[in-house]
Amino acid sequence: MKIYNTLTRRKEDFVPINPGVVNMYACGITVSGDAHIGHAYQALIYDIIRKYLEKQGFKVNYARNYTDVDDKIIAKSNETGIPALEYAEMMIERIDRLMRKFEVDDPTIWLKATCNIENIIDFVSKLIEHGNAYATERGDVYFSVESFKGYGKLSGRRLEDAYESVRIENEENKKTPLDFALWKSAKPGEVYWESPWGKGRPGWHIECSAMNRAAFGEQIDIHGGGRDLIFPHHENEIAQTEALTGKPFAKYWIHNGLIKVNGQKMSKSLGNSILLADLLDKYSPETVKYALLQTNYRGDINITDNLFPDADKHMYDFYKVLDEVDKSGLVAEGGNPEIDAEFNRAMDDDFNTAKALADLFGHFKRIKQKLKAADASCVSDARQIRETYGLLGLFRHAPAEFIAYYEAKTNEKNGEEDDIPQEVKDLAEKRFAAKKAKDWGTADSLRLLISEKGYTIKDSKDGYTIEKA
């Protein structure tokens, strides 16, 4: 099995620190708002990695965290009037329910910043003793970046380059601009804990290091998170942890790609965030998973208008074949080990879910051929697909259940299309003809005219659909 290690910038053979056991940590959600598709994707990826390692015989101790105290949570507390810790607990319960609806399993160990305050204070105190951190008169504690010689090794940034690229906060008591907060003094009215430096709360970066140390000791095998966390968050985790222990923090650093919406990075500032709750109101969890896993985890996912509808249709087609097998009356024992072996080959190459899903088309094509020939081995193939691809969260339900879900959606959509004025349908047909003739000017004019009448056109590889704006 090979894993791409961000630290070394290459694929490496996976060999855990202790034979047969994997200690794995993935940065979780800061609970200042509802879970979006990026949160769901990251949770899905590391759940799959955990399960595949277990499939290969490893005992996996998998920890995820909730950041349940930070500036954003305090801002939400002030906005809503709900005490910060109460607000965070409310959001954790809400997000947990949603992730279970998304059918992502809990980690082995749940960690929360507020349950590790003593561990965090102990960690910070030892960094001060080692000369890697310093307290200010105001009660803040900062990590001295220049005290750690390996700073920048994960992101590949030289110290002087990091000075230019990092966002410098206006904190007068820092010795150098890159130094980052380990402990923040409490402002009036903020949640706080007592510490040797006064009333305050943890900085963001120290939480993960302290929680890892409490859960696993000085070293872990895998540390995961989104690519946007490489710098400064994970870089700072390495600096503060290795400054304390003198040992490599994580053997393998794994980072999933980012979510884009129609080519733009998803962000609140752009107003293009996709909330997980809204997505699951429209699509099955299996549809969402299939859509996301078509891209290998290190690549960015571009969510277009057609991504989820196309995934819905593929899953429907797959389930229709499984339904035919169930109704065929054919009987066979066992599964097809070659399907499982092919899946393993894809996953052994840096958890390549994109390759594993691409293989499904060949598997289902052969099953349809076998059905036509009344070859009972199609039953073994179908059984193996359900077992093997269940690791990705697919084919876990009865075919009739997914088929009913999809056909109900299709009938509802057809009903909506029947309400579309004939004038709009005619304009859409003219636009489609203009596009086929590559008359882009006319096509754009007709799209605008359709929009003015209160409808939108969504193009797909099979044609187009008309929707109410």
The secondary structure of 397-428 as a DSSP string is S-HHHHHHHHHHHHHHHHHHHHTS-HHHHHHH
Task: Retrieve residue 292's tokens.
Answer: 């996301």
Mean pLDDT, to the nearest integer, of 25-49? 96
Residue 168 pLDDT greater than 60, yes or no: no
DSSP annotation of 232 = I
pLDDT at 469: 72
Q: Measure the CA–CA gap between 39 and 42, rounded to whole angstroms.
A: 5
Residue 172 pLDDT greater than 70, yes or no: no
Mean pLDDT, to the nearest integer, of 52-78? 97
Confidence of residue 366 (pLDDT cuts 50, 70, 90): very high
Note the pLDDT tens digit of each residue in 273-325: 899 999 999 999 999 999 999 999 999 999 998 999 999 999 999 999 999 99
More confident residue, 462 or 131: 131
Confidence of residue 414 (pLDDT cuts 50, 70, 90): low
Q: Tell me the CB-side half-sphere exposure of residue 218, using CA atoms within 13 A.
A: 7
State how far the alpha carbon of 82 is from the alpha carbons of 75, 191, 194, in Å: 10, 12, 22
pLDDT at 418: 61
More confident residue, 169 or 52: 52
Note the pLDDT tens digit of each residue in 193-215: 999 999 999 999 999 999 999 99
Mean pLDDT, to the nearest integer, of 107-116? 97
Q: Which residue's entry shows tokens 């390495």? A: 238
Mean per-residue pLDDT over the chain, rounded = 93
Q: How many CB atoms lie within 10 A of CB 432?
A: 16
Q: How many CB atoms lie within 10 A of CB 438?
A: 7
Confidence of residue 445 (pLDDT cuts 50, 70, 90): confident
pLDDT at 185: 96
State how far the alpha carbon of 268 is from the alpha carbons of 36, 261, 264, in Å: 10, 12, 12
Task: Return the biggest CA–CA distance within the chain.
Answer: 82
Residue 416 pLDDT greater than 60, yes or no: no
Percent of the chain at pLDDT > 90 equals 80
Confidence of residue 170 (pLDDT cuts 50, 70, 90): very low
Residue 182 pLDDT greater than 90, yes or no: yes
pLDDT at 165: 56
Note the pLDDT tens digit of each residue in 114-167: 999 999 999 999 999 999 999 999 999 999 999 999 999 999 988 776 666 555
State how far the alpha carbon of 28 is from the alpha carbons of 66, 97, 208, 253, 353, in Å: 5, 15, 10, 15, 21
Note the pLDDT tens digit of each residue in 68-105: 999 999 999 999 999 999 999 999 999 999 999 999 99
